[in-house]
């Protein structure tokens, strides 16, 4: 319990950047998930501002269309009518279907510490026979363990793609540091909350499977991974992040991503590694991007000259 409080404390005291924090009225609160079930996003926007976040693509389009002034990562809007919407929409969920928190925000980003908005939503869901999956990068999630213990079917996933502090600082520095996420996993496990880890996005030079799998295997029962989902939406932020992370060697990173060599190696090694350390293998998902599309996206960027070699 003492450890639990220290984690919360560190988050509450975290020096959160100045955020545009407003309220918004949502037209609906449940969105059908591509992989089945429903997703529920208590907030619009996400102060974690991960460089690889592909939600920013949708936002950038909306921003252009609606003249928003804040770039992705610099605003958080609370969906003030979330509880009311949920009361009206809950009948859409069939028995056995699940709700995913969240697909386009982090339900436990630092603003949640003061607002308790996600907590209020979960307090309402506790009486429903619905499977809840939480995926977060925030150790704040341990605050709600007392509530999780009342659910029949709830699991908490941590998205962790590196244990390297320098990589974390370059790519997703507004989220909880990797060691706090590991500590939170330990606490959840001790409190008998079902957990999993999603190594997402796994990236060359950043995600070291050999080091991570044994560490994660001690703290959770299931591990899966996906590769970087590169698009026009996250490319510029990722380009900057990689420049910070490995200045002068960025091309090595991009070459490994684009030529798929690294992904092919991991595809062979990941499952045996999970078996070796006694953790369930949940899958390795490849987000592919065709050479043609990459060339279109990166036609002006000399760092991608290697794409045009041997043509």
Interface residues with ligand SF4 (CB under 6 A) are 46, 48-50, 53, 55, 105-106, 137
53 vs 274, beta carbon nearer ligand SF4: 53
Of 202, 213, 212, 206, residue with least CA distance to 167: 206
Q: How far is the CB of 107 from ligand SF4 (least distance, A)?
A: 10
29 vs 55, beta carbon nearer ligand SF4: 55
216 vs 238, beta carbon nearer ligand SF4: 238
17 vs 92, beta carbon nearer ligand SF4: 17
Q: What is the DSSP letter of 35?
A: T
Q: How far is the CB of 29 from ligand SF4 (least distance, A)?
A: 17
Q: What φ, ψ does residue 305 adopt, rounded to 5°?
A: -55, -30
Q: How far is the CB of 311 from ligand SF4 (least distance, A)?
A: 34
Q: How far is the CB of 308 from ligand SF4 (least distance, A)?
A: 31
Q: In what order do the strands lie in the sheet with 43-44?
A: 20-24, 75-79, 43-44
Report the alpha-carbon distance of residue 85 to residue 64 in Å, rounded: 27
Sign for the CA dihedral angle at 104, 107, 108, 113 comes to: positive
Six-digit token pair at 94?
């069939």
Report the alpha-carbon distance of residue 25 to residue 77 in Å, rounded: 9
Q: How far is the CB of 135 from ligand SF4 (least distance, A)?
A: 8
The enclosing H or E element of 226 equals: strand 222-227
Q: How far is the CB of 172 from ligand SF4 (least distance, A)?
A: 6
Q: How far is the CB of 268 from ligand SF4 (least distance, A)?
A: 27
7 vs 217, beta carbon nearer ligand SF4: 7
DSSP string, 191-204: TT-EEEEEEEEE-T
44 vs 223, beta carbon nearer ligand SF4: 44
Six-digit token pair at 213?
């799998």
Q: What is the DSSP letter of 18?
A: P
106 vs 112, beta carbon nearer ligand SF4: 106
Q: What distances in angstroms separate CA 20 from CA 17, 23, 47, 79, 119, one per listed residue?
A: 10, 10, 10, 14, 21
């Amino acid at each position: 319990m003492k450890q639990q409080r220290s984690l919360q404390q560190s988050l509450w005291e975290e020096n959160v950047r100045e955020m545009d924090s407003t309220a918004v009225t949502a037209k609906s609160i449940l969105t059908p998930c591509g992989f089945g079930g429903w997703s529920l996003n208590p907030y619009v926007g996400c102060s974690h501002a991960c460089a690889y976040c592909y939600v920013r693509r949708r936002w950038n389009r909306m921003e252009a269309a609606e003249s928003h002034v804040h770039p992705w990562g610099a605003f958080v809007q609370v969906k003030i009518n979330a509880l009311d919407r949920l009361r009206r929409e809950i009948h859409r969920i069939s028995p056995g279907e699940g709700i995913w928190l969240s697909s386009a925000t982090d339900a436990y980003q630092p603003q949640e510490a003061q607002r308790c908005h996600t907590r209020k939503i979960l307090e309402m869901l506790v009486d429903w026979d619905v499977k809840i999956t939480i995926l977060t990068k925030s150790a704040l999630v341990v605050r709600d363990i007392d509530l999780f213990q009342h659910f029949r079917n709830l699991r908490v996933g941590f998205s962790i793609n590196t244990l390297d502090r320098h990589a974390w600082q370059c790519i997703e520095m507004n989220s909880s540091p990797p060691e706090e996420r590991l500590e939170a996993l330990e606490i959840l496990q001790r409190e008998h909350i079902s957990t999993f880890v999603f190594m997402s996005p796994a990236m060359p030079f950043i995600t070291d499977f050999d080091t991570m799998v044994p560490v994660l295997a001690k703290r959770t029962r299931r591990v899966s991974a996906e590769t970087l989902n590169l698009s026009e939406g996250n490319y510029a932020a990722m380009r900057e992040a990689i420049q910070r992370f490995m200045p002068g060697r960025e091309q090595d990173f991009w070459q490994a991503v684009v030529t798929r060599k690294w992904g092919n190696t991991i595809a062979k090694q990941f499952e045996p590694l999970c078996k070796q350390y006694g953790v369930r293998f949940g899958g390795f998902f490849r987000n592919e991007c065709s050479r043609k599309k990459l060339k279109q996206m990166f036609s002006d960027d000399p760092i991608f000259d290697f794409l045009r070699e041997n043509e």
